[in-house]
Amino acid sequence: MAVTAAEAGFDLTLSDEQELAQRAARDFASEKVLPLAAEIDEQGKIPPALLAEMGALGFMGAYVPERYGGSGLDTVSYILIVEEINRACASTGVVLSSHLSLAIEPILEYGTVAQKEHFLPAMARGERIGCFALSEPASGSDAAAMRTSARRDGDSWVLNGTKNFITNGSLSDVAVVFAQTDPAKRHKGIAAFIVEKGTAGFSVGKLEKKLGIRGSDTAQLIFADCRVPAANLLGEVGDGFKIALSTLDGGRISIAAQAVGIARACLEDSLGYAKEREAFGKKIAEFQAIQWMLADMATEIDAARLLTWRAASLKDAGQDHILAAAEAKLFASDVAVKAARDCVQIFGGYGYLKDFPAERHYRDAKITEIYEGTSEIMKLVIAEEILKE
């Protein structure tokens, strides 16, 4: 009999299909990703063959309908995959989630049939990687203040401006780009465009050197009289801000799943080390101080996972998931940062060395409190939603 949580509004029991997706991702992550995680972090890049295999396994198009070349899974299956990949390597995990939840998602939800048929099959197979270009040097959380402009000229739109902190920026073949068509209208004047690599006037600028998730590229994108076909307008003129916010609501569930994966890595690595490391004549796992840290990790990770599953379930049901996604991201990111801190503490001096995974987890965890909406923005979203009631 299924165990349900009526008040939370979702079923805690995974379906056979969801368990299969989880198992496939766990096996792949353990066998192929985890052995390369330290090297990916050190070298600052992910082997193309690894991404190609993720595409072949159907992960890169997890919830894309089969008619567009995807696996046709639900959102819960997707976030199970995201957790498993991030447990092994957060850099590899964010390439997956940015590609699917930020680039594919808006095309899937707002694109025309022609746009879907043209872009989605290759993206779902991982043959073309996508990115989401919203942030700018002078506008992050205040997206409505963007300065990148779009001007209609015949059968094209001409884009000018710079986008900042773009995950998959240099790796991507397809970018979902937001630009202002009428500054006087602020957020009501923003439009979204699908811009392909190789388009004249579209180039990659500075590659950022980061604290964590070093294996994923974060780049500036530069548009200098970049002519985009009018057929590549996503939705209607003025829909851009709505498209961006809607996409981020779903993307926050992915980041919550990433945070759960990182936190789980911290717990599992801490458990392994605590059972082996000896001090004062016994395993450090026998000390209450260590046990309490492990107990907190385990409890908080379970809570974060359930919040994430609830948000994903609401999205699958077509229900409003803005509040649930914000709560999941806020809580899970905090859990990841705390778990990473305690992981380093449990490892002691070794936790400060690059020879051990604790320091990588510590660096990787922090970004979950920043991108796709900072923790402070999540609190504003949550407050706004609950004050509506």
More confident residue, 141 or 15: 15
- Whether the Cβ atoms of residue 168 and residue 151 lie closer than 8 Å to each other: no
Residues 138 and 192 in one domain: yes
CATH code for the domain in which residue 370 is found: 1.20.140.10
DSSP type of residue 3: -
Which residues, in sequence order, are bridge partners of residue 203? Answer: 222
High-pLDDT (> 70) share of the chain, %: 97
Distance from the first to the final alpha carbon of the chain: 34
**C-alpha–C-alpha distance, residues 137 and 95, integer Å:** 22
pLDDT digits (tens, 9 = 90+) for 68-97: 999 999 999 999 999 999 999 999 999 999
pLDDT digits (tens, 9 = 90+) for 4-37: 334 455 667 899 999 999 999 999 999 999 999 9
pLDDT level of residue 3 (50, 70, 90 thresholds): very low
Q: What is the pLDDT of residue 4?
A: 34
- Whether the Cβ atoms of residue 266 and residue 339 lie closer than 8 Å to each other: yes
Point out the domain boundary residue: 102, 129, 156. 129
Tokens at 121, concatenated: 């099959």
**C-alpha–C-alpha distance, residues 351 and 356, integer Å:** 6
**C-alpha–C-alpha distance, residues 226 and 203, integer Å:** 9
What is the reported pTM? 0.95
Give the residue among 251, 249, 254, 313 at the shortest CA–CA distance from 79.
254
Residues 366 and 255 in one domain: yes
CATH code for the domain in which residue 189 is found: 2.40.110.10
pLDDT digits (tens, 9 = 90+) for 108-119: 999 999 999 999
pLDDT level of residue 142 (50, 70, 90 thresholds): confident
Of 145-149, 271-275, 288-292, 322-326, minimum mean pLDDT range: 145-149
Residues 117 and 171 in one domain: no
Residue matched to tokens 């996503």: 234
Residues 72 and 93 in one domain: yes
Catalytic-residue membership of 372:
yes
Which residues are CB-neighbours of 41 under 8 A, at least 6 positions away? Answer: 89, 91, 214, 215, 360
DSSP type of residue 192: E
Average pLDDT over the chain, rounded to an integer: 95
Residues 81 and 63 in one domain: yes
H helices within 229-287, ranges in order? Answer: 240-276
Q: What is the pLDDT of residue 10?
A: 62
> What are the φ and ψ backbone dihedral angles of 65, each rounded to 5 degrees?
-55, 150
pLDDT level of residue 340 (50, 70, 90 thresholds): very high
Residues 365 and 266 in one domain: yes
Reported residue count of the chain is 389
Point out the domain boundary residue: 86, 105, 129. 129
Residues 29 and 121 in one domain: yes
Per-residue pLDDT for 271 more than 70? yes
**C-alpha–C-alpha distance, residues 97 and 258, integer Å:** 9
Residues 380 and 280 in one domain: yes
pLDDT digits (tens, 9 = 90+) for 194-227: 999 999 999 999 999 999 999 999 999 999 999 9
Of 100-104, 138-142, 184-188, 305-309, minimum mean pLDDT range: 138-142
Decide: helix, strand or coil at residue 159: strand
Residues 107 and 153 in one domain: no
Q: Provide the domain count of the chain.
A: 3
Residues 142 and 123 in one domain: no
**Residue range of the domain that includes 187:** 131-241
**C-alpha–C-alpha distance, residues 303 and 322, integer Å:** 18
Q: What is the pLDDT of residue 9?
A: 54
pLDDT digits (tens, 9 = 90+) for 218-256: 999 999 999 999 999 999 999 999 999 999 999 999 999
Residues 258 and 198 in one domain: no
Which of 372, 376, 384, 385 is an active site residue? 372
Residues 252 and 380 in one domain: yes
pLDDT level of residue 145 (50, 70, 90 thresholds): confident
Q: What is the pLDDT of residue 2?
A: 31
CATH code for the domain in which residue 90 is found: 1.10.540.10
Give the residue among 176, 106, 91, 189 at the shortest CA–CA distance from 135.
176
Alpha-carbon dihedral sign for residues 235, 238, 239, 245: positive
User: Span 340-349, mean pLDDT?
Assistant: 98
